[in-house]
Amino acid sequence: MVDLPRRSLLAGIAALGASACAKINESETAKSLFKAAEDGHRAVHRALAGKQGLAPEYTRAQRSPTFRGNGSVTVADPFYQEQLGKGFPDWQLEVRGLVERPLQLSLADIRALPQRPQITRHDCVEGWSAIGEWQGPQLATLLDAAKVRPEANFIVFRCADVLYGRDYYESIDMVDAYHPQTIIAHALNGEPLPEKNGAPLRMRIERQLGYKQAKYLKAIEAVASFDDIGQGKGGFWEDVAGYQWYAGI
């Protein structure tokens, strides 16, 4: 086995000829470079904005006329479809994992909690943006009620949709979990969430891109590490396509 720096250097030179990019992209050096750049951007964002710094909020007049649905826009599961037809009377949101008091919440329970309405912009990783009014309880309210244990480092969102044969999931760290604009939305523009936008419940994590905004929410799980979940990269698109775990860039 050729030593790594030399191989990376050779690959780097070859890449100038524009044909050996695959080698350089798969090298450990490139991966650690990507990770360092991603972590650096996150550190600067957090340092400049503060942990609680708010994403811009808009007025009702500034909303987009419609709100695009993307990724999964329907859920095949028969129980989901049955519930969708009836207005989700038996849908349960679980709060579990590293918590003192696991919770099971109905949609009525979620609506009865203190609510945060917010008109925010959704930015897809592809480049487009839509603006809508979301409403729901802050994630912090649920985490406090469930008493998250100190060893929890991440919150994982489990979803009902299946893409390319895999269950959708996402994860965030405790800074974003306790951010005031991190809410579990049950309404969009004053109406219950439509199916394409994640009915009955979806996450809003307003300082990150669209793929973090987990839809069709079934469970919220506090974990110490997400290494053993999916392929260990912290989310569906991170596993499938290699998207950055920190979706704030």
**Interacting residues with other proteins (CB under 8 A):** 18-19, 21-22, 25, 30, 33-34, 37-38, 40-42, 44-45, 48-50, 53-56, 58, 62, 64, 66, 68, 121, 123-131, 206-209, 241-244, 246-249
Looking at beta carbons only, is 35 or 149 nearer to other proteins? 35
Beta carbon of residue 41, minimum distance to other proteins (angstroms, whole number)? 6
Least distance CB 139 / other proteins (angstroms): 17
For the bound state, the minimum distance from the C-beta of residue 44 to other proteins, rounded and expressed in Å, comes to 8
In the bound state with other proteins, the residue whose beta carbon lies nearer, of 131 and 222, is 131
Smallest distance, other proteins to C-beta of residue 36, A: 8
Residue with tokens 């008109």: 119
Q: Between residues 83 and 181, which has the closer beta carbon with respect to other proteins? A: 181
In the structure encoding, which two tokens stand for residue 236, read together? Answer: 């569906």
Nearer to other proteins, 57 or 94 (CB): 57
State the minimum distance, in angstroms, from the CB of residue 7 to other proteins.
Answer: 18
Q: What's the closest the beta carbon of residue 183 comes to other proteins, in angstroms? A: 16
Choice between 118 and 208, CB closer to other proteins: 208
3-state secondary structure the chain: CCCHHHHHHHHHHHHHCCCCHHHHHHCHHHHHHHHHHHHHHHHHHHHHHCCCCCCCCCCHHHCCCCCCCCCCCCCCCHHHHHHHHHCCCCCEEEEEECECCCEEEEHHHHHHCCCEEEEEEEECCCCCEEEEEEEECEHHHHHHHHCECCCCCEEEEEEEEEECCEEEEEEEEHHHHCCCCCEEECEECCEECCHHHCCCCEEECCCCCHHHCCCCEEEEEEECCCCCCCCCCCCHHHHHHCCCCCCCC
Q: 92: which strand partners?
A: 106
Report the residue number, 38 or 167, with the smaller CB distance to other proteins: 38
Query: And the tokens for 198?
Result: 């994640």
Q: How far is the CB of 206 from other proteins (least distance, A)?
A: 7
* CA–CA distance, 103 with 105 (Å, rounded to integer): 6
Nearer to other proteins, 41 or 96 (CB): 41
